[in-house]
Amino acid sequence: MAGIVPSKVDRLAYVAAVAEAGGFTAAAERLGVTKSLVSQQVRKLEEELGGALFTRTTRQVRLTAAGRRLLDECAPLLRDLGSALERFGGERERLDGLLRLTAPPDFATRTLAPLVAEFAQRHPGIRFDLDSSEEQLDLVAEGMDLAIRFGRLRDSRLRAARLGGFEQWVIAAPDYVARYGAPKDPAALAEHRWVAISLLSSPLTWIFRRGGQQQTVRVRETMRCNSAQALQALVRSGAGVTILLDTVIAEDVAQGRLLRLLPEWKLPDGAIHAVFPPGRDVPLRVRRFVEFLRERMPRA
């Protein structure tokens, strides 16, 4: 590393943090320092290198072509340095810093929130920022460290770790079944009133299997909503039939508030993933939190 003084290496880490977080304020929060310090260190490195590393507007901060080339070449060195320091510190290293994550509201309320609270008690140096949203956020643009996502991953650039799995159950309220009857096979679902979540395109198509048999059913909904919690409440009130995850409605089924229909016919199982932004090293605090989730969640 001839010709490079330690201060430049330090400043390069600030540049990487700004690029990963998408802004100076978010980078400062992650690093636990002031925004002015981050801005100062980036500006000094730009002066020393003789060129701009970022283009700055009132709404966005983006790497210049020169800044991208610099980080592409230096990112492996920074990762190796970080990994070496982590190994040297071992498990005695105190976890700290800000961990920003996003998850669907129902999962965040029922499952994730208690686990976040427990992990925070174990590691009081970590600060959490939990976004509970049905929308799949752009992790890079929003400065997220982690997302919890269900089912098929749409963005192939993202890296993911499987946390657990789920089944999909056909459900309806007891009074709905009393009024309209229970379907005898999946094909009969096409004749029922259907409540759907807005994220799914219409008409809905479901593939059921039982042993070597398969039935493909297309249904058209009579009601839509954009929240899994609202969907569950509508079906519980007798609005119609729907499909929800067993992790969401198992308690309602056990208590008799909802009935599971066609239990002998299976829909494809799904996976729950922890998803990381592309092109960046995963911080130690995020890796430890994901390991904790994998230990605590069923069917991991």
- What does the pLDDT profile of the chain (300 residues) look like in tens digits? 444 444 677 788 888 888 877 788 888 877 777 888 888 889 988 888 888 999 887 777 888 988 888 888 887 777 767 666 555 554 445 688 999 999 988 889 888 999 999 999 999 999 999 999 877 888 888 889 999 998 777 665 668 888 888 899 999 999 999 999 999 999 999 999 999 987 776 678 999 999 989 999 998 888 998 888 889 999 999 999 999 988 888 889 999 999 999 999 999 888 889 998 876 678 899 999 999 998 887 544
Residue corresponding to tokens 């508030």:
257
CA 185 to chain centre: 35
Residue type, 269: D
Question: What one-letter code names the amino acid at 96?
Answer: D
pLDDT at 234: 95
> Which H or E run contains 85?
helix 65-89
User: In the structure encoding, which two tokens stand for residue 267, read together?
Assistant: 């829909």
Residue-level pLDDT at 1: 42
Contact between 149 and 273 under an 8 Å Cβ cutoff? The reply is yes
Assigned token pair, 213:
């048999």
State the span(s) of the chain assigned CATH 1.10.10.10: 6-91
Residue 174 tokens read as: 């007891």
Q: How far apart are CA 120 and CA 122, in angstroms?
A: 5
- What lies within 8 Å, CB to CB, of 155 at 6+ separation is none
Q: Where in the chain is the domain with CATH 3.40.190.290?
A: 168-268
Class of domain 94-157+276-296: alpha beta
CB 297 within 8 A of CB 163: yes
Structure tokens at 122: 């174990």
* Single-letter amino acid, residue 9: V
pTM of the model: 0.59
Domain boundaries 168-268, CATH class = alpha beta
What number of other Cβ atoms are within 10 A of residue 23's Cβ? 20
Residue among 12, 26, 10, 25 at smallest CA distance from 277: 26
Three-class SS state of 156? coil
Whole-number Å distance between alpha carbons of 56 and 63 = 9
Q: What is d(CA 75, CA 89) in angstroms, rounded to the nearest whole number?
A: 21
Cα 137 from Cα 238, distance rounded (Å): 32
22 vs 59: CA distance, rounded Å: 10
Distance from C-alpha of 181 to C-alpha of 122, rounded to nearest angstrom = 50
The tokens describing 251, both together, are 């308690």
Q: In what order do the strands lie in the sheet with 259-261?
A: 242-245, 168-172, 259-261
CATH 3.40.190.10 intervals, the chain? 94-157+276-296
Residue with tokens 């001839």: 2
Q: Which CATH number fits domain 6-91: 3.40.50.150, 1.10.10.10, 3.30.200.20, 1.10.1060.10?
A: 1.10.10.10
